[in-house]
Each structure stands twice: as structure tokens, then as C-alpha cells.
Structure 1
Amino acid sequence: MKEKISILIHGYNKNKNDMSTLSENLKKLNHKCISVNLPLTYKEIDHAAFIFEEIVEETLKEIGQDEKVNLIGHSTGGLIIRNYLLKPKNRDRINSCILIATPNNGSELADMASNYFNVLTYIFKTLKSLKTENVRRINFINDERIRIGAIAGKNNKLLLGKLLKEENDGRVTINSVYYEGLEDFVILPHQHKEIHYKWETAKLIDNFVETGKFTSECKLSDYGKIFIKGREYC
């Protein structure tokens, strides 16, 4: 069976070690994983996106011209993927993109930090990039050649999650992860810091890479009825 090549991108204030468990889990599912280190603490997203573009370029040179890669990002890593897709170059070499707990519509916690502790966004510039007004500048790309799916968490036991009014994973609301145009969307009962460590998550990612769907069944009984932007979502 042919290996699936997947590039893993960590989130805010992390490094590639945070993706090591997901990498090991995906390897068991016949993925060749490449985890990257990006400056996602003190630099704005644009800087990390430029570095990521070069990494993808080098990766594509090292594999067959007929081979494609999957891009898998946790949290802010998902925004790096979306930023990368803004440029048409090499889009035909991308198979699937999976955004795990990514604040696709902006981070309410980053908005709060900016409003009440503005100095934080000047020091931690990645946090500034996560503000709703800045994330909105990253357009959603609809390219039929690329399948994009998102995984959200529903477990707000983390302290900061108590500050968010809507259902969330302790850092990011479900409504922020979801956006129209996704090929598929699933909600898991895990918090932000653990969701990408779960075997269940790796299996769903592999399903999406293979089929364009996370799962063939809707299991509302597991998570309760989920409402996204006013409508019930499975």
C-alpha cells in the first residue's frame, strides 16, 4: 500500500514535539509524517507562513511529481494551512487539509487579550494574528481539487474556556472552527490541548484523507445535538 505523505503543523506557543503523538498514530495508518517547527509565539502568522511555504516547496521537490501531500494543522497551524492555500502555486499537489481545533473565524480569547491586556499582543505577536479582525483577512479558498475538513472539540474544562459563552474546547469555540464550504466537519468530546493526541482523531484524519469524509455515520448520541450558526449539524 502506498504511503500517504502528511505535513503536520503545530499551534500557538508550541513546537513540532506537540505533534509527535499524532505523527506516531498516523504512521500506524501508513502515513509518512513530516512535522515542522514554526515561529508561532513572538512572530505574526505571515512570517511563519512564509517559512512554511519554503518547507512545502522543498518537500514537494523530494517526492515524485505525481505525488500529493496532506496538510494537517492543530489550532493556529490550521491558519498557516489556510494562508498557504491563498497562493495558487502547488495547489494541485495538495490532496487534503485537516484543521484541528483551528479558530477559523478568529479567537475570542485573543480578542479579550487585546482589549484588556493589550501589551500581550505586542509581545506575543502570534496572538495578535489570532484576533477576529485579523483572521478574517485570510480568505476561505474553495478549490475543488483540495478537500478541507475540520475537527472541533467540545470540552471546556480548561480554565480559559469558562470565559467563552458558546460551546468550546477550552480555547476555541465550535462556531469558530466551523465555516461554510468544508468538505466535512466533526465534533469530538476532547479539550484543546489533548484533541490531537487521541487515536480517535488520527483515525478520523486517515478516513478523511482516504474518502473525503471523517465518518460514514452521525453519532449524535455521543455528543448531543450540535447547533452551528443556528442549524443542527451532525
Structure 2
Amino acid sequence: MMRLLAISLLSALLLAACENPPQNHTRQPLQENPPGKTVILVHGYAKDADDMQRLAGFLEKRGYKAIAVDLPLTFDHVHEAAGVFANQVEEILSKLPDNASVAMAGHSTGGLVIRYFLAHSPDSKRVSHAVLIATPNQGSALADIAGDVSDLLVETFATLDSLQPENIPELGLADPDETRIGAIAGNKSTLALGRLLEKENDGRVEVESVCYPGLDDFVVVPYHHNQIHHTKKTAELVIRFLETGSFDKQPDPDTGSIN
């Protein structure tokens, strides 16, 4: 039985890595924006910028400039992808007014890239808010299982190696005082891989891994890992956090609602 589960896990992880092959995307033009109205969106493992476009659409309806980036989050370690991200952020900031702040939102591993940037880049002082959506902040139990099943798997798909709980401390994550950080976890465990997880989870990431000490706010929503960042509810929570620094506080009613 365990052998069958292991084979299933390997197959699912390999398929996840191949279902979104790297693509050449047309970069969105970088435009000057009012302070605090630019949001940089970061996709997760084995995905690309297209996976963040639905959230980008919700944000743009509310007057934000959403910029989704492409990162090598399949065959590269998280710190390597974060180096690429730092260069992209530098380019984005160069197109904005001096000292204008930006916000960030990342799905899954994308949230770890954001936290690495906040911990290691001097430009982190320009990030006012960050929202981590289904991010394995304390590591991925599935990545740990994958490492137990096959060293070759995590060596090849190096992002998985970074996600093993024992390797998270090597990222040197530390949240700056200047940035308000909130996390959103899902608890709809209807994805097949969720059966391998013992604790409450979204089918990929356990809820308790998303939460960590030092967060400004934390909330759990009833979605699975592959849908959580595509929903209107999550978009509303992201916008609320960007506008108030909390998932509970309501923004000014004059700002309208998402359609």
C-alpha cells in the first residue's frame, strides 16, 4: 500500500512540474503608479505568471497595477529563484516614482520567494504589505515525503528540496518591521495528495505550516490549493489586507466592491 502511495506521489509531482512548461510571455508594460498601488504577484511551484492572472484581474478592477512575474520554480532552489525575482523587482521599482511603495502577493512557494526577498534585499523597505497564500512557511510535508521516496526526485526538481522542512531555516527568512505580512491558508482537502497528509490541509499544504509567529494576521478559507488564489473571496481578503493591514477590518465603503 505504501509503495502504491509513493508511486502515486511521484507521478503527481512529476505531472505538476510538466503541466505548465516554461513559456515566453509578453511582459506587461511597466507604468508609473501612485504610491502603494502596484502589486507584484508571484506564482508557485511548477507554475508561471499565467497562474496569477485571475487574481491580477480582481486587483486591477480595484485600481491596482498588478504585475505577475515568471520565476524558475521547478528545477531551481528557492534562493536561486529569489535572485531572479530581486532583479525583476529592481526593474519594476525603477519605473515607479522615487520611494513609491509596492505590495506583494504570492501563492504557495511564491510566498517563500517573497519572504526571501524581504529578508535579504535592501529594496525590502519599499514593500508596504505582503500576502502569502497557501505558502508552506514551515516547509512542505509532501516535499519531505518525496525526499524519503527518492533523492533523485528532489535533486532534479530542486524547488522541492528547498521546501523540505529541514531546509527552510537555510533560507534565512526574517520579516522586516516595515512590511505588514498576512497569510491565507486553505483547508479543503479534496486533492489526491491531501490523503498523504495527517493534519488539516488544502490538499498540498498543511494549515499549520502556513501560519508562523510574527504574522500580522492569518485566516483560513474553505478552498483547495489549486483554487485558493483564483477565488473572489481570496482576492477580497488580499485587497482588504492591502488597504487596512488586516483581514478583519473593512476598507472605506466608498472604494466599492469586486464584481
8 Å contact from structure 1 (residues 21, 197) kept in 2: yes
Equivalences for residues 1-234 of structure 1 within 5 A: 2=34, 4-216=37-249
Letter of the aligned partner of 1:133 in structure 2?
A: E
C-alpha distance in structure 1 between counterparts of 2:150 and 2:177, whole Å:
41
TM-score (norm 1): 0.89
C-alpha distance in structure 2 between counterparts of 1:141 and 1:209, whole Å:
20
SS in 2 for 1:86: helix
SS in 2 for 1:137: helix
Letter of the aligned partner of 1:34 in structure 2?
A: I
8 Å contact from structure 1 (residues 74, 99) kept in 2: yes
The Cα shift of 1:19 comes to 0.5
Deviations 1:79-124 (A, max 9, x none): 0011111225022211101100000000000000000122211211
The Cα shift of 1:68 comes to 0.5
C-alpha distance in structure 2 between counterparts of 1:206 and 1:119, whole Å:
41
C-alpha distance in structure 1 between counterparts of 2:175 and 2:113, whole Å:
16
Q: Could you say what the CA RMSD is over the residues aligned between the two structures, in angstroms?
A: 1.5
Deviations 1:7-53 (A, max 9, x none): 00000000000001111111112110000000101111121110100
SS in 1 for 2:174: coil
8 Å contact from structure 1 (residues 85, 141) kept in 2: yes
C-alpha distance in structure 1 between counterparts of 2:173 and 2:72, whole Å:
23
> Percentage identity across aligned positions?
44
The Cα shift of 1:73 comes to 0.4
Gap runs ≥5 in structure 2: 1-32, 251-259
Deviations 1:149-203 (A, max 9, x none): 0000001100000111100000000000000110000000000000000011111
C-alpha distance in structure 1 between counterparts of 2:149 and 2:249, whole Å:
44
8 Å contact from structure 2 (residues 39, 102) kept in 1: yes
C-alpha distance in structure 2 between counterparts of 1:147 and 1:139, whole Å:
18
Letter of the aligned partner of 2:226 in structure 1?
A: K
SS in 2 for 1:8: strand
C-alpha distance in structure 2 between counterparts of 1:209 and 1:137, whole Å:
29
Letter of the aligned partner of 2:177 in structure 1?
A: E
C-alpha distance in structure 2 between counterparts of 1:57 and 1:11, whole Å:
20
C-alpha distance in structure 1 between counterparts of 2:57 and 2:99, whole Å:
25
Letter of the aligned partner of 2:202 in structure 1?
A: D
The Cα shift of 1:215 comes to 1.8
Deviations 1:186-233 (A, max 9, x none): 00000000000001111110110111001239xxxxxxxxxxxxxxxx
